[in-house]
Structure 1
Amino acid sequence: MLPLAGRITEAMQLRFLHIKQYDLPHTWRIDRRVLEHAVIWLIEEGALTLEAAAAEESLSLRGGAGEPEALPCGAGELLFFPPGTLLSCRAQSASLQLISLNYETAAPLERGGRWPASLRLPLRYGGDTAELAAVLRLMLADDDADSAGKPLLMQAGLLRLLGLMAARRAPALDARSADGGSDPRVADAIAHMSQRPAAQPSVKQLAEAVGTSESHLRKLFLRDTGMAPLQYWHALKAKLAMRRLAATSEHVSEIAHALGYEDANYFSRVFKKVIGLTPQEYRRKHRDWMQLPAE
């Protein structure tokens, strides 16, 4: 199973839009605005109160009866709002200074439009945010520069920031949590698949191995990975095949058989559906050309 940051990188397409530092008066407020893009705020000075809700329920902080909770936030805190967030907020200090970063994201959604649990970052990051703040301030400085490499620097900064945010979230997703974190039975089922890549487990066998029902395991997989168990199994084997295609000279049929596919043509179709390239196309594009002989 890939670590959280790896799963986010593979599942999402990210594009930096803009970053700006704001000095806001005590009268500043936003009323029920739906955010079109993902937004990250770093509060540098002052305080604000916000209410946030989302149709896909990707925010982890909510009040009773499904209503958003009024949340006081102060200097040093970092806030994350996914696309579709319904946001209301107002300044609670004489002045308010914050850095705002906007970016576009495309991610596979579960049924019903919810983000998989592995993609749900918490709304609020408190405590020691110095490392996150340093990345944002460096991005601000890079944004002021006039250079051909600016787009790459901004994209790299965005990826680093999200990676650090995801790394903080990872421990909470290693066990089932009250806010809908990853269920350990999903992790156990994925470990079962990974240890037996040539096996052909049914959902019933996987459910029995982790101590739950078939229907419940399907629900857990859709919630935590965005895929059904057997769909995830094919994707996992495609990732294993990618490494062998890039690092070895094994025939495609040999790789297919090693991963439990009796029909190499069927394996090729599955691989292309998951990766977007045939095994031969992937090998030509990603093979270790410094160590392997030319085909």
Structure 2
Amino acid sequence: MSEQVLRNSLRLNFLYADKYIFPSMWIYPRNRVPYSMLRLIQNGKARITIDGEEIVVQKNQILYVPQGCEMHCQALEDDFTFISIRFTAAIPLYDTELWPERLGIQKITECDEPEIHEYFERIVSAKTSSTAGKSFRMRGYLELIMAYLVDCGAGILSDAEAKLAEERYREQYKNRHLPNQIAQRNMKPELKMDTRIQSVVEYLIMHHDKSLNIQLLCEMVSLSESSLRRLFKEHTGKSPSEFINELRMMTAARRLLETDDRISDIASKVGYDDPNYFARMFKLNFGIAPRGYRSISRE
């Protein structure tokens, strides 16, 4: 499959986007990421580890986070601010080498283009829109950003490197039924995202403030509860409850920093009826109680 064919056949599925602001003490615990992400850093610095590789990101950089990777983050400066876009692709993109080697997209892209920054902002604004063309608009902005990243990466590889990438790509898929050989080459076995699990992931992202209803999810995708839990764990590295809790914690952290809402109201908005239980879960995830988290960020 040539690069041009791959680009023509690639279809991106927008999932979610939001802006986040964190203090220097913020830490995102080591987790497997069940979707791809693009992060535009708008202020501050952070240390991000992706599959063991440590990267320092800063203002006016776009970070590509590959689907299926293991990620850990730590803010290095106050008011670490970024816009994060979460998406999946119709072609399985679990191999962290596929994007940079086949499409030319780098983990870090310098970006001082106002137009690209505006696309990120527009995606965040559009997600609250009720217009009929909302989903097309957000996907359109995502594809414009992707086009910019591909253009920036074009020409980075020499002809010899491009040929090597092509050979490695073919070898990987030729031996996709030989996971032991792939593991020996320190490569992840291919894991194509089950469309049923992708539907569940998308539903949970859009409804993370609702009570988790496993029976409803099972009916949505025609799976038994045991099959749903097993497949969800295979594809995301988490149980449905762990996955939705992570989404709730990230949303709550943003609300604590960006609003003056009461903590009990924030707890309720992200799906926790008991504010004390919410506070315990927040401290478990961030190492500090919600009130302290808000206080430190505003000192």
The two structures have a TM-score, normalised by structure 1, of 0.51
The answer (yes or no) to whether the contact 1:11–1:108 under 8 Å persists in 2 is no
* Residue from 98, 102, 112 that aligns with 1:115: 98
Q: 1-side partners of 2:14 and 2:130: how far apart?
A: 16
Higher helix share: 2
Q: 1-side partners of 2:36 and 2:46: how far apart?
A: 19
Q: 1-side partners of 2:96 and 2:156: how far apart?
A: 23
Q: 1-side partners of 2:96 and 2:36: how far apart?
A: 16
The two structures have a TM-score, normalised by structure 2, of 0.51
2:170 alignment partner in structure 1: 222
The answer (yes or no) to whether the contact 1:174–1:184 under 8 Å persists in 2 is no
1:95 alignment partner in structure 2: 79
The answer (yes or no) to whether the contact 1:50–1:90 under 8 Å persists in 2 is yes
Q: 1-side partners of 2:149 and 2:143: how far apart?
A: 10
Q: 1-side partners of 2:23 and 2:112: how far apart?
A: 26
The answer (yes or no) to whether the contact 1:121–1:169 under 8 Å persists in 2 is yes
Q: 2-side partners of 1:109 and 1:74: how far apart?
A: 26
2:53 alignment partner in structure 1: 69
Match of 2:60, SS? Answer: coil
Instruction: Quickly say closer, same or farther: Cα 1:149–1:90, change in 2 above 3 A.
Output: same
Q: What does 1:50-199 correspond to in 2, within 5 Å?
A: 50-53=48-51, 68-107=52-91, 115=98, 117-119=101-103, 121-126=105-110, 128-173=112-157, 175-177=159-161, 182-183=162-163
CA RMSD of aligned residues (A): 3.1
Match of 1:160, SS? Answer: helix
Match of 2:98, as an amino acid? W
Match of 2:112, SS? Answer: coil
Q: 1-side partners of 2:169 and 2:55: how far apart?
A: 31
The answer (yes or no) to whether the contact 1:7–1:118 under 8 Å persists in 2 is no
* Residue from 11, 25, 28 that aligns with 1:27: 25
Instruction: Quickly say closer, same or farther: Cα 1:11–1:115, change in 2 above 3 A.
Output: farther
The answer (yes or no) to whether the contact 2:42–2:83 under 8 Å persists in 1 is yes
Instruction: Quickly say closer, same or farther: Cα 1:69–1:158, change in 2 above 3 A.
Output: same
The answer (yes or no) to whether the contact 2:105–2:153 under 8 Å persists in 1 is yes
CA positional deviation for 1:124? 0.6
The answer (yes or no) to whether the contact 1:77–1:129 under 8 Å persists in 2 is no
Q: 2-side partners of 1:185 and 1:43: how far apart?
A: 29
Q: 1-side partners of 2:49 and 2:14: how far apart?
A: 25
Match of 2:70, SS? Answer: strand
Q: What are the Cα deviations for residues 147-193 of structure 1, in whole angstroms up to 9, with x where unaligned?
A: 1110110111111111111111121145334xxxx12896xxxxxxx
- Flag structure 2 segments of 5+ consecutive residues without an equivalent: 176-299
The answer (yes or no) to whether the contact 1:118–1:173 under 8 Å persists in 2 is no
Match of 2:159, SS? Answer: coil
Q: 2-side partners of 1:41 and 1:109: how far apart?
A: 17
- Flag structure 1 segments of 5+ consecutive residues without an equivalent: 54-67, 187-218, 229-295
The answer (yes or no) to whether the contact 2:123–2:138 under 8 Å persists in 1 is yes
Q: What are the Cα deviations for residues 74-93 of structure 1, in whole angstroms up to 9, with x where unaligned?
A: 11111001111111110001
Q: 2-side partners of 1:124 and 1:25: how far apart?
A: 22
The answer (yes or no) to whether the contact 1:78–1:129 under 8 Å persists in 2 is no
Task: Give structure 1 regions of 4+ aligned residues with deviation exceeding 4 angstroms.
Answer: none
Q: What are the Cα deviations for residues 51-102 of structure 1, in whole angstroms up to 9, with x where unaligned?
A: 111xxxxxxxxxxxxxx33222111111001111111110001221110000
Q: 2-side partners of 1:125 and 1:39: how far apart?
A: 13
CA positional deviation for 1:137? 1.5
